[in-house]
């Protein structure tokens, strides 16, 4: 299964796309049966940079892509239409545009774009939509056209390949290379309509078309390994298309399923319309749309999904594991002083060897452990229309119940994409976390169905030291996402005061626990040199309380990050100019201070995975911890 390995696709310094090697590669003609090229004048120079003008490294490239069978005008127009009861194609084309706009589609593969529709689409929309072939080649070729929003993409290459259609008569179908304007990310998209069994069985010709498409995808992947390939189309087949195509390429269907040389598990619900893509893309938000508007526009569902391609920074990453350590009640002021005095050697080493700040922020609404832990795992604020709703440090139900909706978490995506998850906790704070994504986890819409329990392993032990020792003893566990949760600093602070001698001793023990975590990473063959380590506090403490969200001792928290490619001795605010240091002020989310809730989508980006659905913190995954080369 493509997603079951440590995802290269879901992760690598910003590079110049216009390198000599890339330019030379683009100049090659693909030597495939039935392949033809466009006029060189159609080609556009590659992006010279993928950097944001504001200096912030760009995050994941996300766009909406669709496969859309238009129901050709030849079936519905004229005095005696073959398909009675349908509106004329011109009106339906107006509805087509409305569907694309309403669903935010950026790239679409059209099938059955008959000449009248191709002419109308071009005359009405050429200013905002690019199209190939459209009206540029013969009318048969134009029936399968790729369109893209000019505001989002520009075309680099236009090509066609021949496939057999009815009675084996070959016709051209397109594949184009597009460049995302903002990020510079390139994609290939191939769009096809294979013949139906009208009037006879055309399986032979479909199978030949499938094999030519397979060869095309594999050749494109070999020549352009950094460029994902997408396939849209009305295949007029289900498992007979899916199984060989997915088994013989790096393609994955947006609606799931798996296939290899020895087995095939198609998606549970299939139409003849398909959307697939290769790494490093991951699909989210798949829909086979049959809304009222769709049903009066076409006789097919409109297949829609969001494509998510990791940033160029993350595509060059050298880690395939993430370890997050969260600790309750680690007050920044006390830890910073201990670091300066030499009483926190492990934290001092993390600062020297990685990137950090003592001035991150908790959730604005709460400085208590559970709300902040939920934000760290979901990328959501406490309040708001998509907030997780956990405002206090106890929860008798699930996070989903508190939010009034299903809340996606790091556990969901890592587990659903075929990797292992692990949590070891030293406090009962995490019990609602386990119940939420163990007993009440959602379905798995990606690839192989890995079930509703999102935890590969969960343990609650009696002390923080037991947590880190357990991590050390089982260091070859192999989990891609490991979360260690520590509770002693807060427990001591609440009992004896956050300025007490006992609390300072607890901070020293916290540092020794971090030292053992670091030692574990260095001793493990699976973790050494491959792991992003993130250490954060869920909130500080003021006197004998952490409940006052307006106290700077509570809402100002430390955040430390270390791993391959993380520049040594740097400040996280310097690495991320789009995030603004708030000084000592308590500021709203809109101020763009670094919040610990940014960790969720950072961790997923590090694993090459897309941002969490519904998240509002770092949803673009542009928060950066990598050195730019």
pLDDT in tens, 479-491: 999 999 999 999 9
pLDDT confidence bin for 269, thresholds 50/70/90: confident
Q: Give the per-residue pLDDT at 43.
A: 32
576 closest CA partner among 609, 553, 603, 598 = 598
Examine the pLDDT at 426 and tell me if it is beyond 60. Answer: yes
Answer for the pair 173, 216: CB distance below 8 angstroms, yes or no.
no
Q: Determine the CATH number of domain 33-44+58-315.
A: 3.60.10.10
Tokens of 304: 């829609």
Predicted confidence (pLDDT) per residue in 488-508, tens digit: 999 999 999 999 999 999 999
Provide mean pLDDT across the span 322-346: 97
Q: Give the per-residue pLDDT at 628.
A: 64
Q: What is the mean pLDDT of the chain?
A: 91
Q: Give the per-residue pLDDT at 316.
A: 79
Examine the pLDDT at 612 and tell me if it is beyond 70. Answer: yes
Answer for the pair 15, 142: CB distance below 8 angstroms, yes or no.
no
Answer for the pair 516, 544: CB distance below 8 angstroms, yes or no.
no
Tokens of 459: 């343990």
Provide mean pLDDT across the span 576-584: 96
pLDDT confidence bin for 629, thresholds 50/70/90: low
Examine the pLDDT at 64 and tell me if it is beyond 80. Answer: yes
Angle at 155 (CA atoms; ends 152, 157), nearest 5 degrees? 155
Provide mean pLDDT across the span 442-451: 90
Tokens of 50: 């993928």
CA atoms within 13 A on the CB side of 143: 16
Answer for the pair 560, 568: CB distance below 8 angstroms, yes or no.
no
Examine the pLDDT at 322 and tell me if it is beyond 90. Answer: yes
In what helix (H) or strand (E) does residue 232 lie, and over which residues does it extend?
strand 229-234
Examine the pLDDT at 37 and tell me if it is beyond 80. Answer: no
d(CA 523, CA 543) in angstroms, rounded, equals 39
* Residue 142, C-beta contacts closer than 8 angstroms, at least 6 positions apart: 113, 115, 118, 133, 134, 135, 136
Provide mean pLDDT across the span 8-30: 31
Provide mean pLDDT across the span 556-577: 97
Predicted confidence (pLDDT) per residue in 66-91, tens digit: 999 999 999 999 878 888 899 999 99
229 closest CA partner among 267, 178, 287, 153 = 178
Provide mean pLDDT across the span 40-57: 46
**How large a percentage of the chain has pLDDT more than 90?**
85
d(CA 443, CA 437) in angstroms, rounded, equals 11
Q: Give the per-residue pLDDT at 577.
A: 96
Beta bridge partners of 289: 302
Examine the pLDDT at 603 and tell me if it is beyond 50. Answer: yes
Predicted confidence (pLDDT) per residue in 180-219, tens digit: 999 999 999 999 999 999 888 999 999 999 999 999 999 9
Q: Give the per-residue pLDDT at 57.
A: 86
Q: Give the per-residue pLDDT at 5.
A: 27
Examine the pLDDT at 30 and tell me if it is beyond 80. Answer: no
Predicted confidence (pLDDT) per residue in 305-320, tens digit: 999 999 988 887 778 9
Examine the pLDDT at 50 and tell me if it is beyond 50. Answer: no
Q: Give the per-residue pLDDT at 54.
A: 59
Predicted confidence (pLDDT) per residue in 514-531, tens digit: 999 999 999 999 999 999
Tokens of 275: 């959307």
CA distances from 256 to 6, 108, 285, 374, 549 (A): 18, 20, 11, 28, 43
Q: Give the per-residue pLDDT at 24.
A: 34
Q: Give the per-residue pLDDT at 622.
A: 96
Tokens of 204: 């032979």
d(CA 384, CA 403) in angstroms, rounded, equals 10
Q: Give the per-residue pLDDT at 35.
A: 52
Q: What counts of helices (H) and strands (E) characterise the chain?
A: 21, 23
**How large a percentage of the chain has pLDDT more than 70?**
91
CATH topology of domain 321-606: Alkaline Phosphatase, subunit A (3.40.720)
Whether omega before 378 lies within 30 degrees of 0, making that bond cis, reads no
Q: Give the per-residue pLDDT at 82.
A: 82
d(CA 11, CA 564) in angstroms, rounded, equals 13
Examine the pLDDT at 2 and tell me if it is beyond 90. Answer: no
d(CA 528, CA 534) in angstroms, rounded, equals 15
């Amino acid at each position: 299964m493509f997603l079951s390995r440590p995802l290269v696709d879901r992760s690598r310094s910003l590079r110049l796309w216009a390198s000599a090697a890339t330019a030379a590669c683009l100049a090659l003609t693909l030597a495939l049966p039935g392949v033809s090229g466009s006029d060189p004048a159609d080609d556009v120079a590659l992006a010279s940079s993928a950097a944001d003008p504001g200096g912030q490294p760009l995050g994941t490239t996300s766009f909406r892509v669709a496969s859309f069978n238009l129901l050709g005008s030849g079936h519905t127009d004229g005095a005696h239409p073959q398909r009675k009861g349908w509106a004329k194609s011109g009106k339906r084309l107006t509805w087509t545009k409305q569907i694309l706009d309403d669903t935010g589609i950026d790239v679409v593969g059209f099938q059955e774009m008959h000449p009248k529709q191709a002419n109308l689409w071009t005359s009405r929309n050429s200013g905002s939509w690019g199209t190939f072939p459209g009206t540029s080649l013969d009318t048969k070729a134009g029936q399968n056209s790729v369109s893209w929003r000019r505001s989002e993409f520009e075309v680099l290459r236009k090509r066609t390949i021949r496939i057999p259609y009815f009675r084996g008569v070959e016709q051209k179908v397109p594949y184009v290379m597009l460049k995302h304007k903002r990020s510079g990310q390139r994609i290939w998209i191939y769009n096809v309509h294979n013949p139906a069994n009208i009037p006879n069985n055309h399986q032979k010709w479909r199978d030949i078309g499938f094999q030519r498409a397979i060869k095309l995808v594999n050749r494109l992947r070999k020549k352009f390994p950094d460029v994902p390939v997408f396939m849209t189309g009305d295949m007029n087949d289900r498992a007979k298309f899916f199984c060989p195509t997915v088994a013989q390429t790096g393609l994955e269907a947006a609606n799931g399923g798996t296939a290899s040389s020895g087995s095939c598990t198609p998606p549970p619900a299939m139409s003849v319309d398909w959307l697939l893509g290769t790494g490093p893309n991951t699909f989210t938000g798949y829909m086979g749309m049959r809304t009222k508007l769709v049903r009066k526009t076409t006789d097919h569902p409109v297949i829609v999904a969001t494509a998510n391609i990791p940033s160029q920074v993350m595509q060059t990453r050298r880690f395939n594991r993430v370890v997050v350590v969260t600790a309750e009640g680690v007050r920044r002021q006390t830890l910073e002083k201990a670091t300066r005095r030499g009483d926190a050697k492990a934290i001092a080493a993390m600062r020297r060897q990685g990137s950090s700040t003592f001035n991150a922020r908790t959730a604005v609404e709460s400085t208590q452990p559970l709300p902040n832990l939920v934000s760290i795992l979901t990328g959501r604020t406490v309040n708001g229309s998509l907030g997780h709703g956990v405002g206090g440090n106890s929860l008798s139900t699930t996070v989903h119940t508190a939010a009034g909706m299903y809340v996606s978490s790091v556990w969901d995506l890592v587990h659903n994409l075929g990797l292992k998850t692990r949590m070891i906790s030293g406090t009962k704070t995490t019990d609602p976390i386990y119940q939420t994504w163990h007993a009440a986890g959602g379905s798995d819409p990606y690839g192989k169905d890995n079930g509703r329990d999102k935890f590969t392993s969960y343990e609650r032990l009696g002390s923080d030291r037991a947590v880190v020792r357990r991590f050390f003893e089982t260091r070859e566990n192999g989990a891609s996402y490991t979360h260690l949760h520590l509770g002693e600093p807060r427990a001591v602070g609440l009992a004896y005061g956050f300025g007490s001698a006992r609390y300072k001793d607890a901070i020293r023990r916290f540092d020794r626990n971090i030292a053992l975590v670091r030692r574990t990473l260095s001793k493990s063959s699976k973790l050494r040199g491959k792991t992003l380590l993130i250490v954060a506090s869920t909130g500080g403490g003021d006197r004998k309380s952490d409940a006052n969200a307006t106290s700077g001792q509570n809402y100002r928290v430390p955040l430390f990050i270390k791993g391959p490619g993380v520049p040594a001795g740097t400040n996280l605010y310097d690495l991320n100019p789009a995030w603004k240091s708030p000084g000592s002020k308590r500021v709203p989310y809109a101020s763009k201070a670094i919040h610990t809730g940014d960790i969720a989508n950072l961790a997923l980006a590090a694993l090459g995975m897309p941002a969490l659905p519904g998240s509002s913190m770092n949803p673009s995954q542009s928060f950066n911890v990598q050195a730019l080369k």
